[in-house]
Chains A and B, each alone.
Chain A
C-alpha cells in the first residue's frame, strides 16, 4: 500500500489547550479511513490539520511533521495543498451562488476560464456525486433551493471539481436523513477508487459500514488504528471496545 500521509510526532495546541498529543500514523492511498471518538477527542482538529485549516485560528501552534506524498505540508503552497486535499463540511454549506457557480467555483479560482471546459467539469463532478440527474435542468437556480441531502452532495461535487487527491469528510451526514445518508455513503464507496478518503463521524455504525480502517481518538490522543473489522470485533484497547459498544461518549 502506498502511503499518502505520514504523520510523525505531531502536537497541536490552541492557546493552552493541547488539542492533539504526539500523533504518529499513516494514511494509505485509496483507502477510506474512518475516524471516531467522542466530542473534544481531537478528531476534527486532526482532519483540519490535513488541509491546514486550523491555521485560521489565532492562537494555533503545532509541532512535528506531516508529509503528503513525501512533502512536508507546511512547506507546500497552501492553495496547492488545499486543492489536493478537498473537504466536505459537517453542515451542507453551499456558497450563495447558483448550483453551477458553486461547482465551478474552485475550478475558476484555479484559473480555468473556458466555458465548455467548466461545463464539462460541472457535469462530471455532479454526476460523480449522484446529483446530475436531479439538477441538470436548473443549474442556474440558487443552491439554497436544494434540499439538505442534495446540498451536501452538491458540496461533494464542488470538492470533486477541483480534482483533489484526498477528500476529508467532517461528519458529512450529521444533518441528513437516513436515505440521504445512504446516498452520501454510496458516493464515498465509489469515490475511493480514485481518491483517498478520511471520514470523521460520530456515527460508529457508519464508520463500520464504509471504513477500510478505523482510528479511535480519545482526549486528544490516538488510542488505536487498524482494520475496521478488527477494531469492531477484537480491539486492542479496552476503551475502544467501550466506546464502540456505547458505554460512554
Chain B
C-alpha cells in the first residue's frame, strides 16, 4: 500500500538533504581556511615582500598585482561590455547578425578559463608583443569577464520599464537622450552588480594569468603596465605545489586573503542590489 503522506515525507527529506549538501562544502571551506589561515594574518604578512624563497615574509606584491589586474580588466571590459549591452538591448533589431552576436556572447561565457590563457598568450603576449605583462593579463581577464558584464548590463537595461522610454520619446527627446537620461541612470545599480561579480571572477582565476602575466617570484612592485606581477591565485598555486617546505600557515593565509577579497567584492554587489531594490519605485 502506498501512503501518500509517507512518500511526501521521504521526498521532502531528500530535497532537504540535497539542499543541505550545498551548504556543507561552503561552510567547511570557509571554516577550514579561516582556522588554518588566520594565525598567519598580521600586518607584516599583508604589507611585506616574500622572503627566503616565499617561505616567510609577506604577500604584498601578490595583493597589489591582483588589484592591478582586476582594475585593468574592468577598465577594459566595462566600457566595451556596457556599450555592447546598450546596442543589444536598445538599438539592435532581431536579425541574423544580432543572433550571431548573442550566440558569441553565450559561447564566450562557456569557454574554459585555461583556453583564455592560451588565447591571451597567443594574441597579447606574442602577436601584439606586449610580453608577459599586466597589460596582457588584464586584457585576457577582461575578455573573460565580458560576457558577465554584457549579460548583467542587458538585464539591467531591459528591466527599465518601456513606459519610461515612451514618455521620454513623447516629450521629443531623442533616442540617445532617452537612454542617457532615463534608461542608464535607472540601470546603473544592476550594471554595477554585474561588474562587481566580474571583478570577483577576475580576482580568483589562475589559468588566464598563468601564461600572460603572473610571475613566479618577484619581490618588488611593478613600475609600468609592461611589467610582470605576482598575483594571489597563482602565488597560492606556486607555494602549494612548486616550493617545498612552505609553512601551511602561509598557504592558508594566502588563500584566506584571496577568499576575503572575492567575498568582499560579492558583498558589495549584494549591498548595491539591496539598496537598488529598496529605492525602486515602479
Which A residues have a C-beta under 8 Å from some C-beta of B? 51, 53, 56, 58, 79-83, 86-87, 89, 91, 93, 95-96, 105-106, 109-110, 142, 144, 155, 158-159, 162
Contacts and interface: CB of A to CB of B under 8 A. Distances in A.
Nearest to B171: A106
Given A58-B94, A109-B181, A93 B163 contact: yes
Given A58-B94, A86-B170, A87-B170, A109 B163 contact: no
Contacts of A81: 172
B172 A162 contact: yes
B169 interface: yes
Given A93-B167, A95-B164, A96-B281, A109 B173 contact: yes
B171 A86 contact: yes
Contact of A106 (B93, B173, B281): B173
B172 A82 contact: yes
11 contacts: A56-B166, A80-B172, A82-B172, A86-B170, A87-B170, A95-B182, A96-B282, A106-B173, A109-B177, A144-B281, A159-B170
B282 A56 contact: no
Interface of B: 93-94, 163-174, 177, 181-182, 186, 281-282
Contacts of A79: 172-174
A158 B171 contact: yes
Nearest to A84: B172
Contacts of B182: 95
Contacts of B281: 96, 142, 144
Nearest to A79: B172
Nearest to A109: B173
B173 A53 contact: no
B173 A89 contact: no
Nearest to B185: A96
Nearest to A164: B172
Chain A CB count within 10 A is highest, among B168, B170, B182, B281, for B170
A87 B171 CA distance: 8
B180 to A, nearest CB: 10
Contacts of B186: 96
Contacts of B173: 79, 105-106, 109
Contact of A53 (B94, B164, B166, B181): B166
Contacts of A162: 171-172
A91 to B, nearest CB: 8
A72 B147 CA distance: 44
A38 B181 CA distance: 37
B185 to A, nearest CB: 8
Given A86-B170, A86-B171, A87-B170, 11 more contacts: A53-B170, A89-B166, A93-B164, A93-B166, A95-B182, A96-B186, A96-B282, A106-B173, A144-B282, A158-B171, A162-B171
A82 B170 contact: yes
Counting from the closest, the 7 A-B pairs by CB-CB distance are A83-B172, A106-B171, A109-B173, A82-B172, A87-B170, A144-B281, A79-B172
Contacts of A158: 171
B172 A95 contact: no
Contacts of A91: 163
Contact of A95 (B93, B94, B167, B177): B167
Contact of B171 (A58, A80, A105, A142): A105
A134 B110 CA distance: 56
B179 to A, nearest CB: 12
A112 to B, nearest CB: 12
A109 B171 contact: yes
Contacts of B172: 79-83, 106, 109-110, 162
A103 to B, nearest CB: 10
A159 B163 CA distance: 15
A87 B173 CA distance: 13
B24 to A, nearest CB: 43
Contacts of B177: 109
Contacts of B170: 51, 53, 82, 86-87, 89, 159
Nearest to B163: A93
B169 A82 contact: yes
A28 to B, nearest CB: 22
B168 A95 contact: yes
B249 to A, nearest CB: 52
Contacts of A109: 168, 171-174, 177, 181
Contacts of A142: 281
Nearest to B174: A79
A173 to B, nearest CB: 18
B157 to A, nearest CB: 15
A105 B168 contact: yes
Nearest to B173: A109
B33 to A, nearest CB: 43
A56 B165 CA distance: 10
